[in-house]
Amino acid sequence: MAYAILKAILLPLLSLIFRPKVEGLSHVPTHGAAIIASNHLSFSDSIFMPLVVPRRVTFLAKSEYFTGETGLRILREGNLLGIYPEGTRSPDGRLYRGRTGIARMALESGVPVIPVAMIDTDKIQPPGKALPKIMQVGIRFGEPLDFSRYEGMSGDRFILRSVTDEIMYALMDLGGQEYVDMYATRAKQIEADETKGNE
């Protein structure tokens, strides 16, 4: 109830201010479970994307991203589950290697994965800026990815990597981001080490 009220208030307001350009929303099923896999550019991704989807999208807390049980419960209940396969925000606007937890969840639940590219959300409030920039953002949904051909193979790490990579390539195609075959957390650590070394 509170979710619906908040959405009813925020959607018209944010639509008026940021004029989100939404494409492919029809790819999101009107009923039944699905995983919505998004790139992650900004904290605002978790605001804009759920607002434009007619159904409720539940995002896991960061600590729950890849433990599986909470996500599987949400999917078994027939709901939409939002996941950021990169596990954290991109440090530089590029698309980083996905964690295989999303693949395991997709194979164990048997639900489709809907890729969605958030576009330019990182430019709304760049690091160090106190006030958001008023500009249009993009939200582009892709066709559902069906991994039923891998049913019963959620324990195979090579299959998990293959499924995850397919999801990440779909995100790359949708959003046009440069792909980096490295985890975003590792990239952030390298950047932090370099900064520390220059002090």
- The ranges assigned to domains in the chain are 15-197
Q: Are 118 and 48 in contact (CB under 8 A)?
A: yes
Place of tokens 């990182």: 122
Residue 181 CA to residue 97 CA, distance in Å, equals 5
CA distances from 96 to 40, 116, 137, 183 (A): 9, 15, 20, 6
Can you give the pLDDT at residue 173? 98
For residue 192 the two structure tokens come to 């932090």
For residue 136 the two structure tokens come to 């249009």
Can you give the pLDDT at residue 64? 55
Can you give the pLDDT at residue 99? 94
Can you give the pLDDT at residue 29? 96
Q: Which of 38-42, 47-51, 140-144, 147-151 has the lowest mean pLDDT?
A: 47-51
Strand locations in the chain (E) = 21-23, 34-38, 57-59, 80-83, 95-96, 113-119, 138-141, 179-180
The separation between CA 133 and the C-alpha centre of its own chain, rounded to angstroms, equals: 22
The dihedral through the CA atoms of 144, 145, 146, 147 has a sign that is negative
Place of tokens 């639940």: 109
Q: What percent of the chain has pLDDT over 90?
A: 64
What average pLDDT does range 50-77 have in this prediction? Answer: 82
Query: Running DSSP on this structure, what letter comes out for residue 32?
Result: S
Can you give the pLDDT at residue 85? 94
Under the banding of pLDDT at 50, 70 and 90, the label for residue 52 is: very high
Residue 197: exposed, middle, or buried by beta-carbon count in 10 A (0-12, 13-18, 19+)? exposed
The pair phi, psi for residue 78, each rounded to 5°, is 85, 20
Q: Does CATH place domain 15-197 in 3.30.56.10?
A: no
For residue 64 the two structure tokens come to 């729950």
The chain-wide mean pLDDT, for the chain, equals 89
How many CA within 13 A on the CB side of residue 109?
28
Residue 95: exposed, middle, or buried by beta-carbon count in 10 A (0-12, 13-18, 19+)? buried
Can you give the pLDDT at residue 24? 98
Q: What is the pLDDT of residues 12-28, one digit of tens each?
A: 787 788 889 999 999 99
**More confident position, 132 or 33:** 33
Query: Residue 59: pLDDT above 80?
Result: yes
